Chain A
Amino acid sequence: MDSKLVVSPSPHVHSGESTSRLMFNVVLALMPAFAVSLYYFGIGALFVTLLSVLSCVLFEYLIQKFILKVQPTITDGSAIVTGLLLAFNVPSNLPWYIVVIGSLFAIGVAKMSFGGLGSNPFNPALAARVFMLISFPVQMTSWPLPIESRLKYIDAVTGPTPLAILKEGLKKGDTISQIADQIPSHLQLFMGVMGGSLGEISALALLIGFAWLLYKKVITWHIPISIFTTIFIFTGILWLVNPEKNADPIFHLLTGGVMIGAIYMATDYVTSPMHPKGMILFGIGIGLLTVIIRVWGAYPEGVSFAILIMNAFVPLINRYVKPKRFGEEVKRNG
């Protein structure tokens, strides 16, 4: 032994987990949904996704290197995840420049201006999505129809999402049974045969990814399950009260990005609470807001807004929802 002994404080072993590995697992978990998207939306999905990921990574690199003048950290994979999620939240026929502007907003405004990874209060991909939705409402809400648009990009055949059909129909005064034949069946919704953002459509693929994330312990069940349960119960009550004016709870769970929002966006480490109790509170908040926006609000879907609003409450939740300390109970009793 010729080298000097190393002295360091305990612990002397480490789990081997790293930020880049966590991010890599998220990317892996998104792959089934990506495959489904490629199957339904073809080259458009491929182009938008690649463009989004590349521009997110590039913007992160450029901002860190030339504006912040720090060592670029693109290898941690967080920009890739942001790029993927951003792409998954837009239609596959979105013009390239909007994708690039969205990426710039996600990385430049929503992430880097707050101090980069770990410091942003809002989920960058979602913030960018809402920004794009407000800035380019037409392009952001023209949804290519699955399968028919496989070989098309800008010129894709478009149609409304199931939730938009529902909202339109109810506004006209139609009942659920009158609209029913225009919207896909539950099985179709589950498999993803509907118009929508390119990665949000297939609940099945997203749930496979969820299972992977849970298995790899990247996320815990608390946030997604509390969102699902809240939406299910809330819409279930409305549905039981008036099944002709309110869609059934399963329909609500399978449409409008609830799956991708609950599993991948709401669980974003940086913008979600630090403790299981807080996570459940956060999830319930998102569920309630989503349903309120959907049923009484102007937009047909409400997951993005719900998550962003709850993101703003995270510091407050972290401050007031504390883990139960060991030995606390006893002290109070005794």
Chain B
Amino acid sequence: MLKTFAKGGVHPPENKFSANKPIEVLPLPAKVSIPVSQHIGAPATILVAKGDKVKVGQLIAQSAGFVSANIHSSVSGTVESIDPVLDSSGYKRPAITIVVEGDEWEPTIDRSPELKRNIDADAQTIIKKIAEAGIVGLGGATFPSHVKLSVPAGKKADVLIINGVECEPYLTSDHRLMLEKGHELMVGIQLLMRALGVDKAMIGIENNKPDAIKYLTEIAKEYSGITVHALKVKYPQGGEKQLIKALINREVPSGGLPIDIGAVVHNVGTAYAVYEAVQKNKPLFERVVTVTGKNLPKPSNFLVRIGTPVSDLIAAAGGLPDDTAKVVNGGPMMGKAVTDITVPVTKGTSGIIVFPAAESKRKAESVCIRCAKCVSACPMGLEPYLLIRMSQRMMFEKMEHERVLDCMECGSCSFECPANLPLLDYIRLGKTEVNKIIRARKN
């Protein structure tokens, strides 16, 4: 019996078309647009001006506070403009647009392919380097990693959990990274362990990636303290709280953080970026992105420079199929549908999924038949059927009492609902309103 989390969860069709496609380096784009807010927290402060020459890896926007992240140029060339560009929601956000000229890297970056296994840095240096490299959670949450590693006083981490679950259907970027960069990943994990001062790290991988489990289990023997754990396939196991529950059977308290129960979770992509930042001096300016879709000619995994237009990735994967009606940035369960395919890839872009027209629109809603499928699907033990009614009737205080803020928007309820009710839509609305009420109460 494989481990998994106890409550709720669903099994969406996996559709991992690009699982066997090795990571390819995407050719350099002609132009990149690098948004200065690719992370949770304050937008970075722009350091360059129009007309400036920049190199690959050069700091172009500085972290503006503790919860913020540095932004580095992903290409070499000339800054064309510092105007707002469209983000995937269609809003214009400040960004630095650079015209690519050649590929000249900062000389400090170690570009040799050799594995650098020896760890010289101490905990403080590691955290400092991670902050300097602008590393954020690459699983999609984009929370600045150095913040997660700075354990608040009075709390102590005893285990590092590495998220290799990739429970979102379609996505395969973490899977490929684990297969192709196993040793780098292991060194990255050891760096994170040292930064946190823990001697135990657990990698959780869902059982639909047996090759990755086998390979990592094999090489983990060479690294002390790291164990690999196969998990039963169940969405949303990649959720921090669910993964902790599955691996060490502890529950993060409502409204709390994993560190409250002694765990810190990082994504495999983040661990790899940490390796590159600390051992190779390479800031975060490229990442692995899965480009996939049922009718896409060549579903692929690309190593992409941040700021590359999504349309470039789709073109490299064979071009947009004629019947496309929706393009999603991220996974199909939690990703965002984009309004325009020219939006840039950001640090949080784990995948681009192209949906055919037949799967793009929701089916007609009918009435709730109280089948309770949403209640059994909710991994947080909430009652979506009740929350949608309260939200529609604007009973936001009651929603707070029903713990709507515990909702992590995994979408399991809407996925299961036989009446096609927009459960999560209204729960989101309720969350926003409840947050407003709480803020008003504090003032």
Chain A interface residues toward B at CB < 8 A: 1, 3-15, 17-19, 21-22, 73, 76, 78, 116-119, 220, 269-270, 272-276, 322-331, 334
How many residues in B have their beta carbons less than 8 Å from beta carbons of A?
Answer: 77
Tell me if B179 counts as interface (CB < 8 A to partner A): no
Q: Report A33 CB to chain B, min CB distance, Å.
A: 22
Identity of the chain B residue whose Cβ is nearest the Cβ of A220 in the assembled complex: B376
8 A-B pairs with CB atoms under 8 Å apart are A5-B337, A9-B425, A9-B428, A10-B337, A12-B359, A13-B332, A269-B371, A323-B383
> What residues on A are CB-neighbors of B64 within 8 Å?
none
- Beta-carbon contact of B370 and A11 below 8 Å: no
Q: Which of A12, A22, A274 gathers the greatest number of chain B CB atoms within 10 Å?
A: A12
- How many CB-defined contacts (below 8 Å) exist between A and B? 178
- Out of A5, A13, A323, which one reaches B327, CB within 8 Å? A5
Known A-B contacts A323-B382, A326-B380; A17 and B373 likewise in contact (beta carbons under 8 Å)? yes
**Complex formed: what's the CA distance from A118 to B381 in Å?**
22
Q: Is B411 an interface position by the 8 A CB rule?
A: yes
Shortest Cβ distance from residue A271 to the other chain B in the assembled complex, whole angstroms: 8
* A12-B355 contact, Cβ under 8 Å, with A1-B320, A5-B326, A6-B337: yes
Query: A332 to nearest B CB, angstroms?
Result: 9
Instruction: State which of B245, B333, B417 has its C-beta within 8 Å of the C-beta of A10.
Output: B333
For A275, give its contact among B328, B338, B355, B375 (CB under 8 Å). B375
Residue of chain B at shortest CB distance from A278: B372
Task: Name the residue of chain A whose CB is nearest to the CB of B235.
Answer: A11
CB distance from A74 to the nearest CB of B (A): 12
| Interface-side segment among B78-86, B93-101, B253-261 | B253-261
State whether B416 touches A15 (Cβ < 8 A). yes
**A5 and B415: CB pair below 8 A?**
no
**Interchain CB contact under 8 A, A327 and B252:** yes
Residue of A nearest to B325 (CB): A6
| CB interface residues, B 37-76, toward A, < 8 Å | none
- Say what secondary structure dominates the interface of chain B: loop
Report the minimal beta-carbon distance from B256 to chain A, rounded to whole angstroms.
Answer: 7
On whether the beta carbons of A11 and B334 are closer than 8 Å, the reply is yes
B362 to chain A: closest residue by CB: A8
Q: Per a CB cutoff under 8 Å, which of B260, B367, B420 touches A117?
A: B367
Q: Is A12's CB under 8 angstroms from B333's CB?
A: yes
Closest residue on chain B to residue A334 by CB atoms: B253
Interface status of B368 (Cβ within 8 A of chain A):
yes
Nearest chain B residue, comparing its CB with the CB of A3: B325
Say yes or no: A12-B332 contact (C-beta < 8 A), given A274-B370, A325-B406, A326-B7: yes
Further pairs besides A10-B333, A273-B372: 8, Cβ < 8 Å: A5-B326, A7-B339, A10-B335, A11-B333, A18-B419, A269-B369, A322-B383, A326-B251
Cα–Cα distance between A78 and B10 once the two chains are bound (Å): 25
Q: How far is the CB of A119 from chain B (nearest CB, A)?
A: 8
Asked if B357 contacts A118 (CB within 8 A), the reply is no
Alpha-carbon separation in the docked complex, A78 to B403 (Å): 33
Q: How far is the CB of A17 from chain B (nearest CB, A)?
A: 4
Of B256, B322, B380, the contact of A1 (CB 8 Å cutoff): B322
Q: Which residues of B in the span 296-341 have a Cβ within 8 Å of any Cβ on A?
A: 320-328, 330, 332-341
Residues of B within 8 A of A329 (CB): 251
